[in-house]
Structure 1
Amino acid sequence: MRDGRPHGADAVPPSIQTAAAWSWRLLLIGALVTAAFYVTTLFKVIVVPVAIALLLTVLLTPVRRVLQKHLRFSRGLASITALLGMLAVVGGLVTVAGSTIVSGISELREKAIDGFNEFMDWLEAGPFGIGTDQINGYLKELEGVISSSQDTIVSGALGAATTVGHVAAGAVIALFCTFFFLLDGRTIWSWCVGLFPARSRFTIHQAGRRGIVTLSAYTRTQILVALVDAVGIGIGAAFFVPSLALPLGILVFVGSFIPIIGAVVTGAVAVLVVLVANGWVAALIMLGIVLAVQQIESHALQPFLMGHAVSLHPVAVLLVVAGGGFAAGIVGALFAVPLAATINTVILYFNGHDKFPDLGTDDTLVIRGRPALPVMVRRAEEDFGTDEVAPETPRGRRPARRGRATPSGPSTGAPTSDGGDA
């Protein structure tokens, strides 16, 4: 300060200094997120199957535990049995739906042709006055456009073939990872935690446990919500197209895993099928059924079940799904909500807010032969030279004693549903 006036950094108002400090940190975070998104996109053939495997692991872990506890299966046998059972259920649903579609598609095709002919007659005799010659001219123009775009069509077909290959490879990766996540999930998680500095491992492990609980709650709640949607819309469709009610219900069940967007699209498909099969009146009734089911989901199931499971406001869910769909298409919309919910839980725990205090902190990992306790706690125990409990950690949690640190087995003080196989 010279001549009584501030100079240099002192001349910048505190508000501008604070804004600048926030700005460069936000820019750094933005660059990190952008780099992570780029790497994820580059390796999406691997990242997406691993994410699907994680969801399947969360879903099948209770099944594996039941097989181990009640049927005395070994961990490996229980893991492969749970995975094969899931494949059998999915394969059975696809087989039943496929056979039903094949048996009912002929009737629907005839009705669709009749409806198309009626529409063409209405165009010719209606207020538009579009005659057959004009329609034929439009069709010839369309054929010309298709003929001139053969190269694009061929390249698109080759791209589709490549996509099918990627999907097949991704399915193999997902099944392979699911089996080993069920079999050695805790060992894999211990290795991941061991990559971080020793001082942070305890907190990271506990935050990861809570993230898995959130992911489990989302998966199971979404299955329940999807089942309610499928049953409601399937029963409504059974009144108009009994032969296609089951495949429509399965379509709604699968589509409901994409929040908001999936329900709208699959509901529109159900209304369109009823429109082709039974006309406008039946389609309007079916539209009312679809809207009623979706209102029950939005105002009853989502607030009480999904809202409690992921602790996200409906506006946040909508924005997250929209952002995920814009950034990564259907895959982004599918994983946006569970990813956001899990990150929310982990960040809250890092900031001192434990959403699942009942899990406790007794569950520890053995990393390179030592429990995943903070460095300061291990040093304190070494200084005492006994099993006396060290002072509390900054979060007010009392760390486990050296003699109580469990190996890679389940928690000694946490519930069995805590995602200990993470």
Structure 2
Amino acid sequence: MLVILGFLWLIWRLRTPLSWIVIAMFIAVALSGPVNLMSRKLPRGLAILFAYLGLVLIPIGIAAIVVPPLVREATNLANDVPGYVQDLQRWVNDNDRLKELDREYNIVDRLRERAEELPTHLDDAAGTLSDVGGTIVGSLFAAFNILILSIFMVASGRRWIDRAIDFARPEHAPRIRRAVERIATAVGNYVGGALLQATIAGVTTFIVLTILGVPFAAPLAVLTALFDLIPLVGATIGAILVALVTVFHDFPVATIVWLIWAVAYQQIENTMIQPQIQRRAVEVHAFVVLVSVLFGATLFGVLGALLAIPVAASIQIAIREWWDYRRTSAIELPPGVDPPPRPDNPDEPPARLDLPPA
């Protein structure tokens, strides 16, 4: 009992580096496909370099699209707030009831004071940013370590797995190797499919918002694509955020058109796009998906929700292999009779044994 408690305590103390290893493992599995594809015509080291260079450039590109418009509009808003307060003052002066309320509570004067102080608070933002600088540096350190771990896994992971499997019993090694390959294929296909699905959502969102003339179409499209990566609820949250922007642009025309498009697209994505993309990735029951996403989000936040489905698929594959092993090993074979071949579909029963007559 003390050994178990000590082991659990050790895992709890090492939870941060262990989570880095898990994330690095999924990144390595996801990038192993592109790396293997490029390795057919390029040296493997160069293929790994190109794959990780693309991985690093993706968040840089997203930041380049999203951050400048946000900073520009925040600055414009701070500079325009005093003008908004003056408009409010004129509106209050033209309304007797509002004028009486302002005289009693001095609302407009207080708003004017806060509005005049707002531009000066932008200078104080540097101090606030410096307070969170340690968190940013820590996140960058974690991201750097995760990338380095995943690079080692892509470069040498296959040899490590083969050496680990060599320690298993000879009759178990093929089954373990097959399970590992199926898990790697499922995780890689899921990650690639999720990225493709999010890209389709972002591109279609950009086209629709551009047609409607909604400002910040590119940042909103990136935001929609990022939320689309979150299973079950991500696409809905992204659509609601975009709808709020359309309210301030052209209500109700743009808002109604966007909501109709968002509902129609989600139906198309759920019935056509997602099944086609994910049909060869993971076959996890909807109930298991919901439970795994809830558990992952509760334990690790958004990152846990993103990794929940491939983790559930990996556990499902491992359980299927174990159950198939137990089912086939329960059959006692006479001497000289080989076990039946494993079916390609794990849901199919094993082949019937043709035993020699007694």
Question: 1:108, 1:276 within 8 Å by CA — same for their partners in 2?
Answer: no
RMSD after superposition:
4.2
2:159 and 2:49 map into 1 onto residues whose CA distance is 18
Q: Which residue of the partner structure matches residue 297 of structure 1?
A: 269
Cα distance, 1:351–1:165 mapped onto 2, change above 3 Å: same
- 1:144-168 C-alpha deviation (Å, 9 max, x unpaired): xxxxxxxxxxxx9999555434422
Gaps of 5+ in 1: 1-27, 140-155, 354-389, 398-422
User: Counterparts of 1:249 and 1:257 in 2: how far apart (Å)?
Assistant: 13
Which residue in the other structure is 1:329 paired with? 301
1:396 aligns with 2:341: yes
Give CA-to-partner distance per residue, 1:314-373, whole Å, 9 cap, x none: 3332232123222332222111111101211221122229xxxxxxxxxxxxxxxxxxxx
Equivalenced residue count is 310
Structure 2 CA distance for partners of 1:192 and 1:277, relative to 1, 3 Å: farther
- Counterpart in the other structure of 1:74: 43
| CA distance 1:40–1:336, shift in 2 (3 Å) | farther
Give the aligned partner of residue 18 of structure 2.
47
Match of residue 140 from structure 2: 168
Matched-pair contact (CA < 8 Å) for 2:214–2:249: no
Question: Does 2:208 align with 1:262?
Answer: no
CA contact (8 A) 1:112 1:277 kept: no
Q: Is the 8 A contact 2:186 2:280 kept in 1?
A: no
Check conservation: 1:80, 1:179, Cα contact below 8 A. no
- Partner letter of residue 254 of structure 1? L
Change over 3 Å in CA distance of 1:205–1:106 after alignment to 2: same
- CA, structure 1 residues 346+283, in 2 after alignment: closer, same or farther (shift >3 Å)? same
What residue in structure 2 maps to residue 17 of structure 1?
none
Looking at structure 1, the residues matched to 227 and 28 of structure 2 have their Cα atoms a distance apart, in angstroms, of 20
Check whether the contact 2:247–2:255 (CA below 8 A) recurs between aligned residues. yes
Looking at structure 2, the residues matched to 318 and 130 of structure 1 have their Cα atoms a distance apart, in angstroms, of: 54
Deviation at 1:245, TM superposition (A): 1.0
- Among candidates 184, 187, 196, match of residue 156 of structure 2: 184
User: What is the CA deviation profile of residues 291-317 of structure 1, one whole-angstrom value per residue up to 9, with x for unaligned ones?
Assistant: 222221122223443355211233332
**Given residue 49 of structure 1, which amino acid in structure 2 is its aligned partner?**
W
> For residues 211 and 100 of structure 2, what CA distance do their matches in structure 1 show?
36
Task: Summarize the Cα distance change of 1:104–1:344 in structure 2 as closer, same or farther, 3 Å threshold.
Answer: same
More RCO (CA 8 Å, sep 6+)? 1
> CA–CA distance in 2 between the matches of 1:41 and 1:138?
51
In structure 2, give the amino acid aligned to 1:61.
S
Residue 107 of structure 1 and its aligned partner are, at CA, apart by 6.8
C-alpha distance in 2, partners of 1:300/1:262?
Answer: 18
TM-score computed with the length of structure 2 as normaliser: 0.70
Q: Give the match for residue 319 of structure 1.
A: 291
Output the amino acid matched with 1:45.
Answer: T
Residue 211 of structure 2 is aligned with which of 235, 239, 247?
A: 239
Partners of 2:220 and 2:242 within 8 A in 1: yes
Using the TM superposition, give the Cα deviation of residue 184 of structure 1 relative to its aligned residue in structure 2, in angstroms. 0.9
TM-score, normalised to structure 1's length? 0.60
Matched, 1:91 2:63: no
Moved more, 112-121 or 54-63: 112-121
Structure 2 gaps of 5+ residues are 112-127, 326-335, 343-358
**Pick aligned residue for 1:57 from 8, 23, 28:** 28
> In the alignment, which residue of structure 1 is the partner of 2:178?
206
